Amino acid sequence: MIDMKKQQNVPFIILSGILIIALAIFTAITAVDISEANSAIENEEQIYEKNEEKLARLEALLLIEDELRQSFDALNKLLPRQANEAGLIQHINRLAEADGLDVAMIDFGDRVVNNNLNEMPMSLSFKGSYPQLVSFIMNIAAGDRLIRIDQIDIRREEATADGITIDMKAVAFYR
Tens digit of each residue's pLDDT (9 = 90 or more) over 83-113: 889 999 999 999 999 999 999 999 999 999 8
Q: What angle do CA 168, 113, 146 make, to 5 degrees?
A: 45
Residue 6, pLDDT score: 65
Contact 115, 142 (CB under 8 A): no
Q: How far is CA 115 from CA 10, 56, 112, 172, 173, in A?
A: 83, 30, 10, 15, 12
Given a cut of 80, whether residue 4 has pLDDT beyond it is: no
Residue 3, pLDDT score: 64
- Using 50, 70 and 90 to split pLDDT, how confident is the model at 120? very high
Residue 103 one-letter amino acid? V
Higher pLDDT, 81 or 2: 81
Return the biggest CA–CA distance within the chain. Answer: 136
Count of Cβ atoms closer than 10 Å to residue 40 Cβ: 10
- Using 50, 70 and 90 to split pLDDT, how confident is the model at 117? confident
